[in-house]
């Protein structure tokens, strides 16, 4: 690829591997710092539901052996790394015998389809608003109107989700308040199913878009104001180029680089930061699945979901580093 040397590719790939390894190590340690035994907690929940569990000690010992929790921590850690790099994430402790891979594969399309799309809409809309706010020729009336679109920035996404649910689901009854599609429909490629998915996903998507759009707009506005006095902007105006060309190719193109980096880093927050939003709307995405894993002390499920998030963020940052020269030709990774 133009502007990128082989040594840089090797270096970035090495950083990618180290990032994933450090993330996996932390996710192995953190759940085990919590007090209590997850298997004993699971048996206790069964006892609370059934009233009594016969031979609970033998059951706990058998399940600890089944999930490898009876082995020393170094052995557990090596098994965990080996299985993670082979994408064998094991069985869920709370939903045995369902595997973690199956649960993630069921939840991932919902998170990717809804929250990733909402994040991209928020990003593009916020970038456009911020660029117009930082662009001097923008009409005064538009400058006064655009800040109104950022009034929801200070509201947490889950609080706005509750408000939207109360107004549009329970009050006006325009949208459903829970689920990903209507009952009685089977997931299939049909217009009826697609319309139901869009109808159910409108409120959680609005909660994400409205609360995050101002973040991108404020950052882009600051970058546009900073670029306004640069020599290349002054030269472009002196050459008599069209204002639209100056705005997009000279202003937005140079100001958007830090925002693209932030977008790559925010990918991990798409699922992790949407836990409460998905919980409020009972949306079957990875955020809701992670919430269930935390509540149930389900080590394999928590580790599997976070492993996918770590890999997603690491891959996004790796790809962004590679496409930077395409966004800004001034950036070069070749040896001089």
**Smallest Cα–Cα separation from 90: which of 41, 78, 98, 105?**
98
DSSP notation for 13-62 = HHHHHHHHHHHHHHHHHHHHHSSS-HHHHHHHHHHHHHS--TTHHHHHHH
According to the model, what pLDDT value does residue 332 have?
60
pLDDT single digits (tens) 154-184? 787 778 888 888 888 888 888 888 878 777 7
- Residue 152 is predicted with a pLDDT of 80
Question: Quick one: pLDDT at residue 328?
Answer: 65
Q: Cα separation of 37 and 60, whole Å?
A: 10
> Domain extents for the chain?
6-327
Within 149-222, strands assigned E span none
pLDDT at position 271 is 56
pLDDT score for 46:
62
Local structure of residue 139 (DSSP, 8 states): -
pLDDT attached to residue 100: 87
Q: What is the model's pTM?
A: 0.74
The per-residue pLDDT for 254 is 82
pLDDT, averaged per 10 consecutive residues of the chain (336 residues), comes to: 69 85 84 70 64 65 71 83 82 80 86 79 88 85 76 80 87 83 75 82 84 84 84 85 86 83 70 70 83 80 84 80 70 55
d(CA 148, CA 130): 12
**Superfamily, domain 6-327:** MetI-like (1.10.3720.10)
* 215 touches 126 (CB < 8 A): yes
Count of H helices and E strands in the chain? 17, 0
Please report where in the chains the tokens 């998170």 appear, as a residue. 111
Cβ contact 271:112 at 8 Å: no
**271/288 Cα distance (integer angstroms):** 8
SS3 state of residue 2: coil
Number of Cβ within a 10 Å radius of residue 324:
19
197, 111 Cβ separation under 8 angstroms? no
pLDDT score at 55: 64
Dihedral over Cα of 228, 229, 235, 237: its sign: positive
What pLDDT is recorded for position 106? 87
């Amino acid at each position: 690829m133009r502007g990128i040397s082989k040594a840089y590719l090797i270096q970035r790939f090495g950083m990618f591997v180290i990032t994933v390894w450090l993330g996996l190590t932390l996710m192995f340690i953190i759940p085990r710092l919590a007090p209590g035994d997850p298997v004993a907690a699971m048996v206790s929940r069964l006892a609370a539901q059934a009233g009594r569990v016969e031979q609970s000690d033998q059951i706990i010992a058998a399940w600890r052996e089944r999930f490898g929790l009876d082995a020393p921590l170094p052995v557990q850690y090596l098994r965990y790394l080996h299985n993670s790099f082979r994408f064998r994430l094991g069985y869920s402790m709370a939903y045995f015998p369902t595997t973690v891979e199956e649960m993630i594969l069921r939840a991932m399309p919902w998170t990717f389809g809804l929250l990733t799309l909402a994040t991209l809409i928020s990003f593009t809309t916020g970038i456009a608003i911020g660029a117009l706010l930082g662009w001097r020729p923008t009409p005064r009336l538009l400058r006064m109107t655009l800040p109104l679109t950022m009034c929801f920035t200070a509201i947490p996404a889950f609080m706005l989700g509750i408000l939207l649910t109360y107004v549009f689901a329970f009050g006006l009854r325009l949208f459903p308040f829970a689920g990903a599609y209507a009952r009685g429909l089977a997931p299939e490629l049909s217009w009826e199913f697609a319309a139901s998915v869009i109808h159910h996903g409108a409120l959680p998507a609005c909660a994400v878009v409205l609360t995050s759009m101002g973040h991108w707009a404020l950052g882009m506005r600051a970058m546009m104001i900073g670029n306004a006095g640069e020599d290349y902007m002054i030269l472009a105006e002196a050459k008599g180029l069209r204002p639209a060309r100056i705005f997009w190719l000279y202003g937005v193109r140079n100001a958007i680089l830090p925002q693209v980096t932030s977008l790559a880093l925010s990918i991990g927050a798409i699922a992790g930061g949407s836990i409460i939003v998905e919980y409020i709307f009972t949306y079957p995405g990875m955020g809701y699945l992670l919430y269930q894993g935390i509540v149930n002390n389900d080590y394999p499920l928590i580790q599997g979901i976070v492993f996918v998030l770590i890999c997603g963020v690491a891959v996004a940052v790796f790809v962004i580093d590679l496409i930077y020269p395409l966004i800004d030709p001034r950036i070069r990774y070749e040896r001089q």
